[in-house]
Structure 1
């Protein structure tokens, strides 16, 4: 398990990713998950042997060999598949080249900006590097096979997003009190599907606004009917506004969906205010007595009746 020192410089580790599936992608946790084959290849000259064929070695030999301590810098919960046995593969070439492959499920953080939600495009990073070996010991590189270092399964589909682009590269990361480390990064560019929100939010909110217009054709004397219709629309709109925020983190800014729901709420509230204004001004303009005026007239009639009764006695 000793480090394979090289007189020519640090050990070069080539990395390749073959992604089988991706998801779920959670806005609440600001994280995403993917299932992939993670392959690493390096050369250890101590393992050279005479021959022409590649050795297919049992994974039990891994305990006796040196291997990179690669980890995910922005990882949260990653695990190795072990059913029905640990999903690992080890191959050694005659020149000492080692191929180490394993199947992993990686959960990594993905900072999201939701100002344009649900018409947004997110970029989720994956950052790989050594945990203990600095740049002078280990250097990571992307292993390009068929002109791609990060491959996606041809039948992979996402329920919430479309994968519109993948960009990879390598860089150095300085960690305080530890040194400079070689790292690899890949950015997955994801565009959100609009169908779910169109069916469950945009169309119902639009229909509620249209339904509020029905009150314009109801007789102004049917006060209870118009108020009941308006209040029902307001309460339904408030429920939709609260429900669409349930699956989102409690961010301090408003999303595009919040603005749309707020605008629909304002239109529905305006129909109630319009009815109140029309009802008030048509009462005054038509010469109808206001409630306090009618009460005064009733008091005058009662007074006159009492005076007539007194005069009879």
Structure 2
């Protein structure tokens, strides 16, 4: 049988002292996690004695009714204070007196800064460095972006594994999701840049291939009949003939006199302007790709910086 210390005063008030260990459940709203502040309450009520038999009140005076030991600390929270109240609740058997105390908890950010925010920010910056690589180096750029994306997804899953499964979005979900979206945008941006470079290279190769094909066709028709098969000696001779034909231009004032062979040469190869246009179109595709890279180098990191400022001002400051 446990003996409890009981003191009875002249005013018919008694002082009861005993120690009790409790395991309580606190319902939390994690929408601002890990910047959340929680209020965990405890309610004390008489079970069998109505208000006409017993009334519960917090002790008032110089000392606080609830004292928190300064040496007691929680791993993830800091106890910032407490609020006490009392009252009466009405039930079918009668009215019962109760006491309540709410403990104010503030989550500590040290763990999440080291395990979530700083590593994810570093991964985004590493992904941004892929913009400085040459677009031709596709293995390096794609590998760097995909590696950072997988690291962000793994980090997000590890953090969520220690949290209760909630149906709403938390603050850390917004941060990690935005970091992943930025890396996705980098992959899409590189796909566009690579397509522009590939299109420009294919246009350049096609232009050179067409010019070489037309050159061989002209040599065959200009030098040798269709029924005769060319030999290696004939090809060397046709090259000399082509050189002579390309130099058979005589210029007068404002007019150009061309031999029939030179006219045929110009018909087969096209004008200088057409060749220049094909080269210009080829360089334009590659120029567009480099321009997209230059724009993304500034806007990507700038957008991430603006997002970080708005995020921290909204949830922390």
TM-score by length of structure 1 reads: 0.61
1:122 matched to 2:38? The reply is yes
Aligned-partner Cα distance in 2 for 1:157–1:272: 45
Please tell me whether the aligned partners of residues 117 and 257 of structure 1 are also in contact (alpha carbons under 8 angstroms): yes
CA separation in 2, counterparts of 1:94 and 1:212?
74
How much has 1:222 moved relative to structure 2? 1.8
**CA distance in 2 between partners of 1:205 and 1:288 (Å):** 41
Specify whether residues 165 and 92 from structure 1 end up closer, same or farther in structure 2 by C-alpha distance, changes over 3 A only.
Answer: closer
Q: Classify 1:285/1:147 alpha carbon distance in 2 versus 1 (closer, same or farther; 3 Å).
A: same
Structure 2 residue 186 is matched with structure 1 residue 186: no
Question: Match of 2:52, SS?
Answer: coil
Partner of 1:231: 146
Provide the residue aligned with 1:162 in structure 2.
78
- Alignment of 1:207 with 2:122, yes or no, is yes
CA deviation string 1:50-107 (max 9, x = no partner) = xxxxxxxxxx5xxxxxxxxxxxxxxxxxxxxxxxxx6x64133474654322211212
CA deviation after TM superposition for structure 1 residue 188, in Å: 0.8
Indicate the structure with greater helix content.
Answer: 2
User: Pairwise CA RMSD of aligned residues?
Assistant: 2.5
Residue 147 (1) aligns with residue 58 (2): no
Superposition deviation, residue 167 in structure 1: 0.7
Which residue is equivalent to 1:132? 48
Instruction: Identify the match of residue 172 of structure 1 among 88, 100, 104.
Output: 88
Please give the TM-score of this superposition, normalised by the length of structure 2. 0.60
Quote the offset at 1:268 in angstroms. 1.1
Query: How do 1:43-54 and structure 2 match up within 5 A?
Result: none
Match in the other structure for 1:260: 175
For 1:204, what is the secondary structure of its paired residue?
Answer: helix
Q: Secondary structure at the match of 2:55?
A: strand
> Gaps spanning 5+ residues in structure 1: where?
1-59, 61-85, 298-310
The aligned residue for residue 244 of structure 1 is: 159
Number of aligned residue pairs: 208
Measured after TM superposition, the shift of residue 170 of structure 1 is 0.3
- Structure 1 residues 94 and 248 mapped into 2: Cα distance closer, same or farther (>3 Å)? closer
- The structure whose residues are more often strand, as a share, is 1
- Give the secondary structure class of the aligned counterpart of 1:266: helix
Residues 97 and 278 (structure 1), Cα distance of their counterparts in 2 relative to 1, 3 Å cut: same
Report SS of the residue matched to 1:105. coil
CA distance in 2, matches of 1:289, 1:245: 51
